[in-house]
């Protein structure tokens, strides 16, 4: 009888740890699986997110609306479009008239190279001849030229106003046309643009063709 009790007691003492071990094993397996799933999800979210365009990226190529009502003749403001500076220059009547007086000094005075939309292939390279709209990046190596709008000054007595690139010395007139002898091979780029109103400029969208 004593032997039976001993055997039963031994059986209980042997089986109880097995039940506990099995429960622990199940818990560990479940916990590990959950942790793995969470880890996989945390990796997947940034990856999927990286494939979606950010708001900044979408805005980078969007048209830009600019109020030019406060830009007085002889002044210039800078807008940003596609991460590039765009100069909006309000030329005076004298500055506009002077554009026809130095064609022989320019590399491409008649704008034969496609650096502007077709509707800006004119002396002022503009829709409105007094309003110049050009990308402020030198066509040589991508530096940003400095506005030298006043005649003479540190540019010399023959300077009629325009832009000077300090990196390698390229010179451009008040319409962004490049002077001969400059390292820059072409005129400054005129971006697509149109006027929503007399004083509201939309950069990034071509002017609608007249019916």
Phi/psi of residue 182, each to 5°?
A: -80, 145
- Give the single-character DSSP code of 149: -
Q: What is the pLDDT of residue 172?
A: 98
Decide if pLDDT at 9 tops 60.
no
119-142 pLDDT, tens digit per residue, is 999 999 999 999 999 999 999 999
One of 2.102.10.10, 3.30.43.10, 2.60.260.20, 3.40.1190.20 is the CATH number of 59-203, namely 2.102.10.10
**What confidence tier does 8 reach under pLDDT thresholds 50, 70, 90?**
very low
- Give the single-character DSSP code of 192: P
**Cα separation of 41 and 120, whole Å?**
53
**Cα separation of 185 and 2, whole Å?**
109
Per-residue pLDDT, averaged over 164-190, amounts to: 97
**Cα separation of 15 and 150, whole Å?**
99
DSSP state string for 36-59 = HHHHHHHHHHHHHHHHSPPHHHHH
**Residue 97 Ramachandran class (φ > 0 left, ψ -120 to 50 alpha, else beta):** alpha
The pTM of the full predicted model, rounded to 2 decimals, is 0.71
**What confidence tier does 18 reach under pLDDT thresholds 50, 70, 90?**
low
- The label of the residue with tokens 């780029």 reads 189
């Amino acid at each position: 009888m004593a032997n039976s009790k001993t055997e039963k007691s031994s059986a209980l003492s042997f089986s109880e740890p097995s039940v506990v071990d099995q429960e622990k094993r199940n818990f560990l397996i479940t916990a590990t699986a959950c942790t793995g799933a969470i880890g996989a999800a945390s990796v997947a979210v940034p990856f999927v997110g990286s494939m979606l365009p950010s708001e900044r990226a979408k805005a980078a190529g969007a048209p830009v609306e600019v109020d030019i009502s406060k830009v007085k003749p002889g002044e210039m403001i800078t807008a940003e479009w596609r991460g590039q500076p765009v100069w909006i220059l309000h030329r005076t009547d004298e500055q506009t008239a002077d554009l026809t007086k130095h064609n022989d000094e320019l590399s491409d005075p008649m704008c034969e190279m496609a650096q502007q939309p077709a509707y800006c292939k004119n002396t002022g390279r503009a829709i409105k001849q007094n309003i110049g709209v050009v990308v402020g990046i030198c066509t040589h190596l991508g530096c940003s030229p400095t506005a030298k709008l006043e005649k003479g000054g540190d540019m010399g007595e023959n300077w009629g106003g325009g832009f000077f690139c300090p990196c390698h010395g390229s010179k451009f007139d008040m319409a962004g046309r490049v002077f001969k002898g400059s390292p820059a091979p072409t005129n400054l780029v005129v971006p697509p643009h149109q006027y929503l109103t007399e004083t509201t400029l939309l950069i990034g969208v071509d002017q609608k063709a007249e019916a």
